[in-house]
């Protein structure tokens, strides 16, 4: 299968993340899976006129384009022309190239939240009119309407994340290669369910603190970050804590709250990323599938039962009170 990768409006962070794929590295993995990378603007040697000829040949059907990967949002401005982002040397907006190439590709993959939903590139006043391929924030319809489908019959596959985990990208590509990625394998926002059916909260190393509502008050303290520091891992999809990044880590394991970067409009939560909005002292954002009354009741009971060890360690940057071992009876 042939892959063409285009980088649109974004920071290139998803490519940087992809290069962290390990055992094997991303290039060996693609080769081993029978996936041929026709061109990537950061990884390929071809440039200039050679690339322009290649793009024209792809549009003419030779070689066949099996997977079009787009990283970064699409700029529709000014006034719907797309001319805020021209593909260098072609005289045409990136938006037009993506539309034309998507029309002949068997599959289209949005790599990262910018390409999927607009992401950071669409934050603020969005003067460039940045959108995702098939979503504008949480609303269906980007440069493609909600009903658009690729030649495979699938919508744009949104491998959302800021940045994406390298395995999310490579596993998606390998599922496509194996003809195993169906519409049922995508969630309601067209994210692959192999990682979107898991919450970031799952396997978080702070879960014992969460269960007793033993909360950190400042960054880098050991306690749960939901109550005071803005963590939304109980609502955010992603297997970050079960899969791990760079072999072991995640945002919450590194002491930073989950900001739900796999979701539309995460970039503008309406408050600081390390702040928890509350109403009458209760966090506004509650765990997925948890009724508010249940959460309040369980939180009150949990706080009343918090062991001294957890209460003190929660506001420390290291273990200050170790577990107490019961002495065996004689």
CB burial readout 68-78, b (16+ within 10 A) else e: bbbbbbbbbbe
First to last CA, the chain: 69
pTM of the full predicted structure? 0.93
pLDDT digits (tens, 9 = 90+) for 229-281: 999 999 999 999 999 888 789 999 999 999 999 999 999 999 999 999 988 77
Whole-number pLDDT of residue 219: 95
28-60 pLDDT, tens per residue? Answer: 999 999 999 999 999 999 999 999 999 999 999
Give the separation between CA 71 and CA 252, rounded to whole angstroms: 25
Determine the Cα–Cα distance for residues 227 and 46; give it in Å rounded to an integer: 51
Helix (H) or strand (E) holding 6: strand 2-7
Is residue 223 scored above 80 in pLDDT?
yes
What b/e string do you get for 241-280 counting C-beta neighbours within 10 Å, with b at 16 or more?
bebebeeeebbbbebbbbbbbbbbbbbebeeebeebeeee
**What's the rounded mean pLDDT across residues 154-175?**
97
pLDDT at 289 over 80: no
Q: What is the pLDDT of residue 224?
A: 96
- Amino acid 326: pLDDT: 76
**What is the pLDDT confidence band of residue 319, given thresholds at 50, 70 and 90?**
very high
User: What band does 23 get if pLDDT is binned at 50, 70 and 90?
Assistant: confident
Q: What is the dihedral of CA 199, 204, 208, 214, to 10 degrees?
A: -90
CB contact at 8 A, 158 and 168? no
CA distance 77 to 95: 10
Cβ–Cβ < 8 Å for 160, 112: yes
Q: Is the pLDDT of residue 292 over 80?
A: no
Question: In whole numbers, what is the pLDDT of the chain averaged over residues?
Answer: 94
**If you average pLDDT over residues 4-25, what whole number do you get?**
94
Per-residue confidence band for 87, with pLDDT thresholds at 50, 70 and 90: very high
Q: Give yes or no for a contact between 285 and 292, defined as CB atoms under 8 angstroms apart.
A: no
Closest CA to 282 of 271, 294, 270, 292: 292
């Amino acid at each position: 299968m042939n892959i063409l990768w285009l980088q649109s409006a974004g920071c290139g962070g998803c490519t940087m993340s992809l290069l962290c794929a390990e055992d094997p590295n991303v290039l060996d993995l693609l080769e081993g899976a029978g996936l041929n990378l026709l061109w990537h603007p950061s990884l390929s040697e071809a440039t200039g006129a050679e690339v322009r000829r290649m793009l024209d040949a792809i549009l003419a059907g030779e070689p066949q384009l099996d997977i079009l990967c787009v990283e970064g949002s699409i700029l529709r401005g000014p006034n719907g022309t797309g001319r805020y982002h021209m593909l260098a040397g072609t005289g045409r907006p990136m938006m037009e190239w993506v539309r034309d190439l998507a029309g002949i590709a068997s599959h289209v993959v949005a790599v990262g939240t910018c390409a999927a939903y607009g992401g950071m590139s669409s934050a603020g006043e969005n003067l460039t009119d940045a959108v995702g391929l098939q979503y504008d924030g949480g609303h269906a319809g980007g440069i493609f309407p909600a009903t658009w489908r690729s030649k495979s019959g699938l919508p744009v596959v949104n491998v959302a994340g800021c940045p994406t985990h390298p395995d999310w990208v490579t596993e998606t590509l390998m599922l496509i290669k194996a003809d195993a990625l169906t519409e049922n394998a995508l969630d309601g926002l067209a994210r692959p369910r192999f990682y979107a059916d898991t919450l970031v909260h799952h396997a978080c190393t702070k879960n014992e603190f969460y269960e007793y509502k033993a909360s950190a008050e400042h960054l880098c303290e050991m306690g749960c970050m939901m109550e005071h520091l803005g963590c939304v891992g109980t609502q955010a999809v992603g297997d970050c804590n079960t899969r791990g990044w760079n072999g072991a880590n995640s945002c919450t394991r590194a002491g930073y709250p989950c900001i739900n970067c796999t979701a539309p409009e995460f970039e503008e939560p309406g408050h600081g990323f390390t702040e928890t909005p509350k109403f009458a002292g209760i966090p506004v954002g509650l765990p997925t599938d948890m009724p508010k009354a249940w959460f309040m009741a369980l939180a009150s009971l949990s706080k009343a039962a918090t062991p001294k060890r957890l209460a003190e360690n929660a506001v420390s940057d290291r273990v200050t009170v170790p577990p107490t071992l019961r002495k065996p009876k004689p």
